[in-house]
């Protein structure tokens, strides 16, 4: 099974899970990608949005783990897996999307006030708003601005009634972003 088939299988098997929002994990991924595409973002950002929470599918943890006071670090798990198959422009914004939330909470009071209850709960588990030192470190990351962009699309993807293209539509966008070894193997 190649990586695209694996991703498709995970969306089919686990995409109907919820994680504290009013949407499923599949709906959230599709909506994040959809909003990026509607905003005119490059396909690289659209794909990064589609895959940004893929770590939820491979954590091996229960879907509402945050309710138990545990941060499964899905962003790191997802990045570890995806980095074996995709270019950094796909992987890194997703790896940094939790840090981007912490950054925005520290630098934009309006952003913090707009977070959903589930995002506020996970924010506490993820370390809360960044300190000044963490902000400076985050701004040294090569993909920090792409992570902020992805985070804004992530925050939009929470409408239980929004119609989007299906998983297959976004799977078709993946091949150009595969690493050469993943594409040939």
Residue 180 reports pLDDT greater than 50: yes
User: Among 1.10.238.10, 3.40.1210.10, 3.40.50.300, 1.10.3210.10, what is the CATH number of 3-7+25-184?
Assistant: 1.10.3210.10
pLDDT at 61: 53
Sketch the domain layout of the chain as residue ranges. Answer: 3-7+25-184
pLDDT at 100: 96
- CA distance readout (Å), 32 to 5, 36, 65, 69, 106: 21, 6, 22, 25, 23
pLDDT at 182: 63
Q: Kindly give, in sequence order, each residue whose CB lies less than 8 Å from that of residue 98, ignoring residues fewer than 6 positions away.
A: 75, 122, 126
Query: Per residue in 11-68, pLDDT tens?
Result: 999 999 887 788 999 999 999 999 999 999 999 999 999 999 998 888 765 554 444 4
Residue pair 102/130 in contact (Cβ under 8 Å)? The answer is yes
Query: Per residue in 121-147, pLDDT tens?
Result: 888 888 899 999 999 999 999 999 999
% of the chain with per-residue pLDDT over 70:
89
Q: What is the pTM of this model?
A: 0.90
């Amino acid at each position: 099974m190649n990586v695209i088939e694996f991703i498709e299988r995970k969306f089919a098997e686990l995409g109907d899970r919820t994680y504290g929002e009013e949407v499923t994990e599949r709906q959230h991924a599709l909506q994040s990608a959809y909003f990026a595409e509607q905003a005119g973002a490059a396909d690289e950002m659209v794909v990064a949005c589609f895959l940004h929470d893929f770590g939820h599918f491979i954590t091996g943890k229960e879907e509402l783990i945050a309710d138990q006071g545990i941060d499964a670090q899905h962003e790191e798990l997802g990045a570890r897996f995806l980095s074996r198959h995709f270019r950094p422009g796909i992987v890194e914004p997703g790896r940094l999307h939790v840090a981007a939330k912490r950054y925005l909470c520290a630098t934009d009071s309006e952003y913090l006030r707009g977070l959903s209850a589930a995002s506020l709960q996970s924010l506490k588990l993820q370390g809360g708003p960044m300190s000044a030192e963490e902000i400076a470190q985050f701004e040294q990351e090569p993909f920090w601005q792409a992570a902020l962009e992805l985070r804004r699309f992530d925050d939009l993807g929470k409408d239980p009634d929004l119609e989007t293209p299906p998983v297959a539509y976004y799977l078709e966008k993946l091949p150009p972003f595969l690493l050469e070894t993943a594409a040939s193997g």
